[in-house]
Structure 1
Amino acid sequence: MDLANFLIQLLNSVQYGLLLFMLAAGLTLIFGIMGVVNLAHGSFYMLGAYLAYSLSGLFGSLTAAVLGGAALAVLFGLALEWLLFRHFYHRDHLDQVLLTFGLIYVFEELRSILWGDDVHSVAVPKALDWSIPLTDTLSYPAYRLFMSAVCLVLALGLYLLISRTRLGMKIRAGAFNRDMAGALGINIKLIHAVVFALGVGLAAVAGMIAAPVSSVYPNMGSQVLIMCFVVVVIGGIGSVRGALISALLVGLVDTFGKVLLPSVASMLVYMLMAAVLLWKPQGLFKA
C-alpha cells in the first residue's frame, strides 16, 4: 500500500469512526444515565437519513434539511420519551428490550408507508461536490472531510456540554446516583427527557450527513446498530470519552481490515472487543 492509498484509508477510517461516535454517544448516554437498553437506536439513524431525503427536496438545501431535521428529531425524541420510555425506567431490562425491539418493526412499517421500499439518493451540496487531488490518479471527496469536521464539532460541543455546563453537571450527577440527585432537587425526569432527545438528535444528524454517501434504504438502521453496541461496550457504558476513542479504534480496525485482511475482516472488530473485555471487563473508561 502506497502513501496515497494509506492516507485515503486513514481518512475513511476516521470519518467512519466519527460517524459511529455520533451514534454511540447517544446510545451510551441513554443506557448509562437512564438505564434503558434501546435496540431502536438505529431507527433514529434511519429516520435522519429519510428526513434528509425529504427535506433536502423540499428546501433545496442539505444544510437547511439537516437543521430542520435535527429540530424535528429532538422534538420526536422528547415525545417518544414522554409517551413510552419514561414508563420503563424502573422496569426489567427484558421489558425494555421487548419494547425497543417492537419499535424497530413499528418504525420500519411507518417508513414503508411514508417513503416506500425503494432506495433513494441525496445529492451532495454543490459547494462540496469536488475532490482534493492526492496523486495524478487518486483524490479524496471534500464532502467526506466535511462529514468529519461536522462530527468533530458536535463531539466538542457534547464534551463541553457534559463537562463544562450546569446541565452537564446535573447529567453526570444523575448518571452517578439518580436517587441522590433527585433528593438534592435535580429534576431527574427532565434530565432523562433531555438526554434521550439529545441521543435521538445525534443519531438523526449522523443519518442526515451520511445520506449523500451511503444512500437511503430500508433497514439501514439495523446495520449500524450492532456496531454501535460494540463501540459502547469497548468504550465503557456511559462514557462519552470512551465512545469517541472506541469509535475511532473500530473505524481503523474495520477499514484497514477490509483492505489488508478481507477474508477475516468481518471478525476483526469483534476480536478487538473480546481483547478489550479480557483486559478491562468494564470497557476502556468508566462513566
Structure 2
Amino acid sequence: MKWPRHRDRAILAATPLVVVAAWACHHDTRLFVAATLNGVTLAALYFLVASGFALIFGLMRNVNLAHGSLYLLGAYVGYTVGDQTGSWYLGVVAGALGAAVLGVVLQVSVFRFMPGQELRQALVTVAISVVLADLMMWVWGADIYQLDPPEWMYGSSVLPIVQHYPTYRLILLVLAVAVGGGLWLLLNRTRIGMMIRAGVDDRMMLAATGVNMQFVFAVTFAIGAGLAGFAGVIGGSALSISPGEDTRYLLASLIVVVVGGLGSVAGTAVGALLIGLSEQYGLAYAPTYGVLFTFLIMVATLFYRPQGIFGGR
C-alpha cells in the first residue's frame, strides 16, 4: 500500500491527539486548554533542540550522542555571560557561539575520521558527553541556575479561557517558528543548503565538483550545535539549568527525530508537537502513567513507519 503524501501523514499523526482533545475538552475545557498551551510551548523548546540534532544526525548521518551536552554547555555559558554582563541577549549569543565552537571541534577532531561508522561515533560521543558532564559539574557545581530574560518578556498575556499565560512561553513559540522557517529556507533556498543535501546523498560526487566537503560539514555541525546552545539559553530562561538536563534533552531529541523522520524540518516540528502534547496531556490526565505516552508514540511509529512520519524511504 502506498503511503500518503506529507499532508495526509500529518493528518494521520494528529488523529489520536484530536480524539484525546475532544474527550478532554468535554470534561474540563480550562484544564485542556492549559495543557495544550503547555504542550505546544514545550514542543517549541524540543524543536529548537531537536532541529540541531536533525541537521547533524538526520542530514549528515553523524550519531552525536553528545548533543545534550551542547545544550547544557550553551545554557551554562549563556547564564555566566548574562549574569556577568547583565545582558540576556549577550547570554543568548554567547551560549549559541560556545556550543557552535565545540561542535566544530567535534566535527574536525572526531567525526571527520569516522564517516559512516555509526557504532564507533555513538561510543565515542557517549564518552565525550560523560567527560563534558563532569567538567561542567566541576565548573558550575550541582546548583540550579536560571537566567532572567528582559523585563518586557516577564508577566502574562491575556488569552481566552485560561485568561493569563506566561508571555515568555509564547515568545518561545514564536522563536521556534522563526527558527523552523529559517532552517527550511537554509536547506532549500541557499547554496550551502543545497551543498549539504547533495553531500549527504553523494559525498564523492560533490567533492569531485571542487566543493570543500570538510568546510561544508563543519558549517553544518556549527549550525546544529549552535541551535542546541541557543535552545539551552532559551530553555534555561523558561525552566532551569542543572546537571542531568543534557540527558533529558538528548533523549527528547532522539525521540522527536525518530518520530518525525530523519533530515526533515517539517518532520522534526511534527514530532516535537506530538511528544510535547503527549507529555503535557499525560501530566494533566494520567500523571502516574504519563511518561508511557511518549514511548507508545515512538513504538507505534517504529512499527508502522520505521523511517518516521516525514522520513524518506
Match of 2:252 in 1: 227
Letter of the aligned partner of 1:179 in structure 2? M
1:132 maps to which of 133, 157, 167: 157
RMSD after superposition: 1.8
Number of aligned residues: 286
CA-to-partner distance for each residue in 1:186-214, whole Å, 9 max, x for gaps?
32211111111111101111110111222
| Range moving further from structure 2, 120-129 or 104-113 | 120-129
CA distance in 2, matches of 1:137, 1:30: 38
Find the partner of 1:253 among 249, 254, 278.
Answer: 278
Work out whether 1:200 is the aligned partner of 2:190: no
Equivalent residue letter for 1:285? F
Segments of structure 1 that go 5 or more residues without pairing to the other structure are none
Q: Distance in 1 between matches of 2:202 and 2:146?
A: 45
Letter aligned with residue 47 of structure 2: F
Which residue of 2 is the match for residue 36 of structure 1? 62
> CA, structure 1 residues 32+182, in 2 after alignment: closer, same or farther (shift >3 Å)?
farther
Decide whether the 8 Å contact of 2:49 with 2:228 is kept in 1: yes
Residue type at the aligned position of 1:153: A
**Partners of 1:73 and 1:44 in 2: how far apart?**
5
Tell me which residue corresponds to 1:263. 288
Is the counterpart of residue 146 in structure 1 residue 164 in structure 2?
no
The more displaced of 188-197 and 127-136 is 127-136
% identity of equivalent residues? 38
CA–CA distance in structure 2, aligned partners of residues 68 and 266 of structure 1: 34
| C-alpha distance in 2 between matches for 1:38 and 1:69 | 19
- 2:67 is aligned with 1:67: no
Listed one character per residue, the Cα deviations across residues 22-45 of structure 1 (whole Å, up to 9, x for unaligned) are 121211221233322111110111
In the alignment, does 2:102 pair up with 1:80? no
Which segments of 5 or more consecutive residues in structure 2 lack a partner in the other structure? 1-26
Q: Does 1:16 align with 2:61?
A: no
2:206 is aligned with 1:181: yes
How far apart, CA to CA, are the structure 1 residues paired with 2:30 and 2:164? 9
Q: TM-score of the superposition, structure 2-length normalised?
A: 0.86
Q: Deviation of residue 4 (structure 1)?
A: 3.5
CA deviation after TM superposition for structure 1 residue 259, in Å: 0.8
Q: Are the equivalent residues in 1 in contact too, given 2:187–2:197 (CA < 8 A)?
A: yes
- TM-score (norm: length of structure 1): 0.93
C-alpha distance 135-171 of structure 1, shift in aligned 2 (>3 A): closer
Q: CA deviation at 1:185?
A: 2.6
Q: How does 1:75-114 map onto structure 2 within 5 Å?
A: 75-90=101-116, 92-114=117-139
Secondary structure at the counterpart of residue 139 of structure 1: strand
Which deviates more, 129-138 or 194-203? 129-138
C-alpha contact 1:132 1:139 (8 A) present in aligned 2 = yes
